[in-house]
Structures are given as C-alpha cells and as structure tokens.
A and B are shown apart, each in its own frame.
Chain A
Amino acid sequence: MRSLSHEEALPALGSAPATQVAASVARGRRPTRRRPGRLRPGRALYVLPLLVFLLLMAGYPLEQLVRMSFSNVTITTLQHAWSFVGFQNYRDAFASPVFSQAVFHTIIFVALVFAVGMLGGLTAALVLRGGGRFAGFLLGLMVFVWSLPPVVNGSIWRFLMDQYGLLNLISRGIGTGTVPFLYSPTSSVYSVALVNAWASIPFTALVFRAALLGVDADLIEAGRVDGVRKWQEIRFIVLPALRPTAFVLGVLELVYAFRSFDFIYVMTDGGPGTATNTLPFLGYSEAFTQYQYGLGSAISVIAGVVIIVIAFVYSRSVFSEERVK
C-alpha cells in the first residue's frame, strides 16, 4: 500500500511510508476510545493481507521500476546487477523526438477520449433516462458491449476500419474512396481515440443516468409548472445537479484515457511508425520491443507521476468529505 510518490521522490526510503501506515493503524486501534463495541482491537488487522500482498506485488516491483529508471538495463543485464547511470535515461527520453511526439499524441488522445466519452455519455443518459422498454434494453445492450474484453472490441473495430472493412465499404459506396483510418500517421490516433471513447460511453452513460434519476423531481416539476423549455430544464436544473458526479466521472475518464493501451495494442500497435504512441505505450514498447528497460522505466515513471498527481487531487476531494461525517 506504499505510495509511489514517496518512492519517486526518495527511492532510498524504501518501505518507510508503508511501515508508518501499518504502525499508526496498529497504534490507532487501542480500545481506549469511545464506543468500546466499535473499535475493538483487530479491525485494522483485516487490512493486513492486502497490505502484505500489495507490498510484495506492487510496492516492491514499483521500487524496482524506479531503480531501473536510474540504471542501464537491457535484455542482457535485466537479471544481473544494474549499473547506476543517474538521470541519463530521463535525459535520453526528454531529448528524443519520439518522446515529445508521444506527449503530443497523449494530449490529443486524452482530450478526444475525454470530450467524446463524457459528452457522449451525458447525451446517451439524457436520451435513455426515464421509462420505456426500448431505452432499458438499449442501455443493457450498451453496457454489455462495454463489458466485453477490450481485445474483442478492438479486434472488431480494426476489422471495421480495415481497407476491406465495413466503414470503407460504406465510404466507397458514397464516393469518398478508401479512408486509411488506421494506416495513416495523421488519422490513426483519432481513430483509436474515438474507438476508446465509444467503448467508454456505456459506462459514463450508466453513471450519468443514475445521477439523473437522483435529480430532485420536485425541482423539475416546479420548473415545468413555471413553463421552462426542455433545453432550459436541462441547462439550468439538470446539469448543475450533475456537477459532483461529473467531477468524479471526469477524473475516472481522464485516467482511463491516459492509461489506455489495449485498443492501441490491438488496433495499431503504436503505429504506423510511432503515430499512436502515447506516453504509457511508449514506455512499454521501449522496454518490450526495443529491450531498453532502463529507458522504458524512465518513461513509465514519468507517466506514473502524472497519475499520482491526478490520484492525489481525486482522493483529497473524495475521502476528505467522508471523514467529516
């Protein structure tokens, strides 16, 4: 359960944060508090299996990742002693044009997935709220598609966007010729991002719809009595009520877009060339196709820092309000 931010700032500290957590959790369960029935010793013990498991399977590997990022590690030295090279891998990363390209692709990719995923989900939720068998069936169907493995959805869309695929069949039929959805360096990043957004819309729709059903019905009714128009109702009553949900969901969508790799892997494998390399995907391919584990680790650590920042903002807003209760 140790936090990555500590490791990245001070790799030498090792497991200090985690032991602190364990120690203070243990300290806190002294039964001298109010409500003897509630805080009996042992409640914190239930966290122990998870803590031990994550220290071994996440904490230790992450420490190795950070160490690798400061070392010269290739396929031949992976299982041997690594030579410390300081910030060399980071310097190499920042100096390489592929890296800055990847940053650029990441921004386009995340922005597109975020915008289409959120707006699409909101639209779908508005269209599918309320009763009707058809709306319920359609929502169920969309959630089913969402629950399919990304490798399946990615395969289908790779086929649909193939030069013999359905989209190009239609495109040729209406006279716009063959479109290289996935084979052109310029359009491939948009194609993959749109498919990613498509795959996430059922989830955002489901969550938005649950929030819509929670909007105070009296408020809406009052608005109707006062004769507000449909769009005014949405703009001034429904949307403001959705704001807390939109924040939480927005963070999740942002993270989903940033850490996405399955659609990229299946549909383009980062190509053509480096056209669909996002930052996390670049870190992976440097390690597993170029066998530059040190460089790949450095890029992955940079991607990890981005995530830590998002996770920090998110946790503060979500858990601090729970604590007040």
Chain B
Amino acid sequence: MTSRQPPLATGIPGGRASSRLDPARPGAVSWSLRIFLLVLYTLPLFWLFMTSLEPPGNVGGPAVDMFVFRPTLESYQAALNGGLLNAVLQSLIIASGATALTLAVALPAAYGLAQVRRRTVVVGLGALVGLQMLPQTATIIPLFQVFGTVHLLDTQLAVILADAALLAPWATLLLRPFFRAVPEALEEAAALDGASQLRTFTSVCLPIARNGAATVGTLVFMISWGEFLYAINLILSPGKYPISALLAEQISQFSSNWPNLMALAAVTAVPIMVLFVFTYRFLRSGLTLGAVK
C-alpha cells in the first residue's frame, strides 16, 4: 500500500510527461500541508493504540502518565472477559451473510441494468439512487416494526436482511460500470456460439467483472462490519451484539474507562485493517470508478 501507480482508467497519453514535470518537487506549502495531513490522520490512531495499552480505569489515558508509559494488555483482557470473542463471531456472521446476500442480488441486477436502452431503466436506476441515499435512521423505524411482525427480532438474520437491503441498491450502482465495460461483441460472439444467456452471464461477463465484484464485496463487508444502528435496534439481547454495536453502546454508557473502550475499538478495527492491506490496490481504482462513473 506504499507504492502507488495512477489507476489504469486515467492512463492518458502524456501522463508520463506530466508526472515528470508535475509535482515531483512540491513546494514548502505543499510539504507543510502534507505534514499536517499526516498528523491529522495518524495521531488519532496512534492515540487509540497507546491508550488501549494503558491499564483499565486509567481515566486520563496516556495523558496522565505520559512519561512513565508501561504498556499492558490488561484492557484487552478486560474486553475479552466482556464477551468480546462472541461479539467478533456475531460480526463475522452478519458481515459475511450481508455480503453474500448483497452480491447474490446485486451482481445479476447490475448485469441486467448495464445498458440504458429504455426509459424504464433510467427510472429503475433513479429509484436505486433514492434508496441508496435514504437515511438509515428513517428505515430502521419500519424495519423494527416489520421484523417484529414476522418474529425475526433478536436474530442475526434480521440484521443481515436489513444490511443487504441498505447496501444492495448501492452495490448494484457501483457494479454497473464493470458490466458496462464488457464489449458487446464478446457477448454476441458467445451467443453465436450457442451459449445461453445464463452461460454468457456466468462464463463471459462475471469473469470480466471479477474485480468489480471483489471491490464491492469488500466494501459491503467493511460497511456491514461497522454497521451498528440496525444491530442495536433489531437485536434485543446485548449478549448477541456484534462488536460494532457493543462499542457503540459501551461508549455512551461508560465513557470514562477509555483504555477499555480503546481496546474494544482497536479490536473492532483490526479485521478492517487486515482486509484493507490486502485489497487497497483494487479498492482505490474501484472506488473512484464508481464515484465518477
């Protein structure tokens, strides 16, 4: 994640010349802004990490004994005793389930909606944009009622369904450009060779859109790993909370035991960190592709 090349999509003729000319020698303003950004985005994480190594109950965190820092894992142990492992397991179930379900409905839909030939497709896409933008705070109200009616409250399935409903419209829109990139001639060739539509989708289009599926799948996993509003309201017994919900609840209840809370936050962040390191390369180009079409 340290070395960096311009994304392929923007590889323009003359790009090489520009990068030689361009800011290879950034000025003083540029450098001070870079340092400022570095501090702004590393210091919070550093402070999180340092605080989590303090003994539990140390109110002021590292600020109190800044000069006699004795790292300890006690806060992590305390978090472990608080049902941490179970919460991580719940998170894994919810995030994997939501990712699988979202991709299962969004991949074929993105294929089906790839080409805008008709007004109805525009209407459909517009509806997806609207759904994608709706505040979660609005959708949780009826979801709570609906899941209550069908007796799904207090199950992970409710959270998985709610997460997938939240993310499927967004995932579909993000996946579309990848299916649009499939050359028409290729599909026609497959058809001439007698491949069924399903066969064309699975053997021609899906492999080409593989990077897109990986990008979107990773993002869906990350978002549903961190989602907590649905989890807090749809899961009634705190013993079944995923780790994001546990952290959100504890931070509002015990916001003085910072070492414990920061240890909990660190454990919530670590899986995302691991995932990020392995996926940053294609996340970077996939994200910008989705956002600027």
Contact = CB atoms under 8 A, between A and B. Distances in A.
Nearest to B45: A145
A193 B174 CA distance: 27
Interface residues of A, number: 134
A111 to B, nearest CB: 18
A284 B142 CA distance: 11
Give the most central of A44, A152, A266: most B CB within 10 Å. Answer: A152
Interface in A213-252: 213-214, 216-218, 220-221, 224, 230, 244-245, 248-249, 252
B2 interface: yes
Contacts of B125: 315, 319
A300 B136 CA distance: 10
A255 interface: yes
B108 interface: yes
Main secondary structure of the interface of B (DSSP, over half): helix
A307 B141 contact: no
Contacts of A35: 188
Contacts, number: 382
A149 B285 CA distance: 21
Given A206-B284, A319-B126, A57 B165 contact: yes
Give 7 nearest A-B pairs by CB, closest first.
Answer: A149-B226, A136-B4, A46-B112, A217-B18, A300-B138, A57-B165, A50-B109
Interface of B: 1-4, 6-7, 9-10, 12-15, 17-19, 21-24, 26-27, 30, 33-34, 37-38, 40-45, 47-48, 51, 59-61, 63-64, 104-106, 108-109, 111-113, 116-118, 120-146, 148-149, 161-162, 164-165, 168-169, 172, 184, 187-188, 191-192, 197-198, 201, 222, 225-229, 233, 244, 247-248, 251-252, 255, 258, 261-262, 265, 268-269, 272-273, 276, 280, 283-285, 287-288, 291-293
Interface of A: 1-5, 21, 24-25, 28, 35, 37-47, 49-51, 53-54, 57-58, 60-65, 68, 78-79, 123-124, 127-145, 147-160, 162, 164-166, 169, 198, 202-203, 206-207, 209-211, 213-214, 216-218, 220-221, 224, 230, 244-245, 248-249, 252, 255, 258-259, 261-262, 265-266, 269, 280-281, 283-284, 287-288, 293, 296-297, 300-301, 303-304, 307-308, 310-312, 314-316, 318-320, 322-323, 325
